[in-house]
Structures are given as C-alpha cells and as structure tokens.
Amino acid sequence: MDEKRKLQLLILLIAKEIDRLCNKHHIDYFLDGGSQLGAIRHKGFIPWDDDFDIAMKRADYEKFIGICAEELDKSKFFLQTETSENKYCFAFAKIRLIGTEIIENFSKNVDVHQGIFVDIFPYDNLPDKESERKKFLKKNYILKELLWVRCGYGGPVYEKKMSYKMLKLLISPIPIALLKKRRNQLITRFNNLSTEYCFTSDYPKFHLRNEWFEKAALYDFETYKFPGFEQYDEMLTTVYGNYMVLPPEKDRIQHSKYKINFGKYVDIDTL
C-alpha cells in the first residue's frame, strides 16, 4: 500500500471518532470543502488529495470542543485548538492522531503537535452590509497574518524574506494570546444576529449561506457514510464552479509538501 493510501486510512480513523462523538451528542456537522467534493464526485477522497475537512456552526463547534475535553479517546487522539498550544495560530481545531507525525513545510519549525489530523472549521456570521463586510474581512485578514508570523508559520521560503523578518520583529512584543483574543472578538461579533452568509476565519474567501447549515444528508465516503450539505450543488458551485469537471493533470496536486511518520500504524492496510 502506498503512503498516500495509508494516510487516507488514518484520516478516516480520526473522522470516525469525530462522527462517533457528534452522533452521541447530537452535534450537527457537515463535510466541507474538498471532502464534500470528494463525496459527490469520487465517493471518497479526491484521488490526489489527502485531507478531511469538517464544518460546524459556532455553537456546535463550541459544544464539540467541550465534549472532546471529556470524552475524546486521549490514548489515541489529541485535540488541538488555539488554547491547547500557544504557538498554534489557527482559529479552527484539529484532531491529531497520537504517535504519528506529518511535517508540513509551512509549519515544520513551529513547536506544536504534528500528528496526522482532521480539520474542524467553525463558521461564524458575516455582516450583511457590503461595506461593513469588507472592513470586517480586512481586519480578519490582518489578525490572521499577524498570528501566522508571530507564531512562526511560513516555512523556509517566507522566513528568508526581509518583509517577514521585519514584521516578526515589529510584532514580537505583542502577546500571542492578545492577538487570538482580538481575533475571536472580531469573528464572533455577528453571531447574535440573523445574517445571510457565514465564513471560517482562516479561509475567508468562501462565504456559505447560513441556510445550508439547516439540512444535512448522508453521503458515501470510502466505506463509510458522513453527513454533508443537502444543498451540496449550490455549496460546491459557490466554492469550485463547475465542480464535476476534473482539473488538468498539472493541477492535481496535494495541498502542501510533507514528511510522514506513521509510527505504530506503519503496517496499516485496512480499518
């Protein structure tokens, strides 16, 4: 079995644990991004892809994080959030597989847990007024970039740039916790309002309709079934355009370069 398939199997192992907890506690979640696309177009992983993305509205996300603190199988899995490690800069959670490593170029020098993972994205409301939304997204972008640099993400290519070095020096006196607090205050600001769209802070380009989170459907994914958006066509068209057309071969690439240590799972061939 090749390395990519082993990685996919271990990602499914993590996804099944997330599904178990969500089903037990009636937490709504949805396949997101390439995972929703993979379920529709390939009935599983996109062949050249190797990640698994989950979307939750903020209330379900916070409930899930609380449940994980009590019930996640901590002998196998690690819950990674912005509060679990100071240098973890993202506004979404990862469930990591203990005893494994996947070292991605952009985070190779950051002191955080580096196990094989599944991403869980909280979706927060966007303001309806266009001018207000632009200001909101600009502030989110600035805070996101400051945290990225302050925590040391970017990898060798970015670290060599003078602009990166200068920014890192300038913001070094600012506590990471303060930047995270400011970001959280910003991105949750409109959650008490009824708005048309929502977004996830670290990938702010894609705006999903809040109404899409009202109905889920089960989709085949490899040998399992996971919930995704019932209105998947609208969602995938918004994100990918003509999503059933395969990209050119030159564009069929994984998200980032990495090195993997499968640990005790090195001989895995099935789940």
Over residues 23-36, the pLDDT tens digits come to: 999 999 999 999 99
Global pTM value: 0.95
Q: What is the mean pLDDT of the chain?
A: 95
Q: Is the pLDDT of residue 255 over 80?
A: no
- Output the pLDDT for position 271: 76
Phi (first) and psi of residue 253, to 5 degrees = -130, 155
- Output the pLDDT for position 141: 97
Residue 164 half-sphere exposure, CB side, CA atoms within 13 Å? 13
Spatial separation of the C-alpha atoms in residues 210 and 197, rounded to whole Å: 5
Q: Is the pLDDT of residue 197 over 80?
A: yes
Q: Is the pLDDT of residue 154 over 90?
A: no
- Output the pLDDT for position 173: 97
- pLDDT bucket at 257, cuts 50 / 70 / 90: low
**Percent of residues, the chain, with pLDDT higher than 90:** 85
Over residues 125-135, mean pLDDT: 98
- pLDDT bucket at 256, cuts 50 / 70 / 90: low
Q: Is the pLDDT of residue 21 over 90?
A: yes
Q: Is the pLDDT of residue 254 over 90?
A: no
Q: Which of 105-114, 149-158, 226-235 has the highest mean pLDDT?
A: 226-235
Three-state secondary structure readout of the chain: CCHHHHHHHHHHHHHHHHHHHHHHCCCCCEECHHHHHHHHHCCCCCCCCCCCEEEEEHHHHHHHHHHHHHHCCCCCEEEECCCCCCCCCCCCEEEEECCCEEEEHHHCCCCCCCCCEEEEEEEEECCCCHHHHHHHHHHHHHHHHHHHHHCCCCHHHHHCCHHHHHHHHHHCCCCHHHHHHHHHHHHCCCCCCCCCEEECCCCCCCCEEHHHHHCEEEEEECCEEEEEECCHHHHHHHHHCCCCCCCCHHHCCCCCCEEEECHHHCCCCCC
Angle separating helix axes 58-71 and 3-24, nearest 10 degrees: 100
Phi (first) and psi of residue 77, to 5 degrees = -125, 150
Which of residues 160 and 212 earns the better pLDDT score?
212
Over residues 26-84, the pLDDT tens digits come to: 999 999 999 999 999 999 999 988 899 999 999 999 999 999 999 999 999 999 999 99
- pLDDT bucket at 265, cuts 50 / 70 / 90: very high
Torsion sign, CA atoms 221, 226, 229, 230? positive
Phi (first) and psi of residue 8, to 5 degrees = -60, -40
Spatial separation of the C-alpha atoms in residues 91 and 201, rounded to whole Å: 6
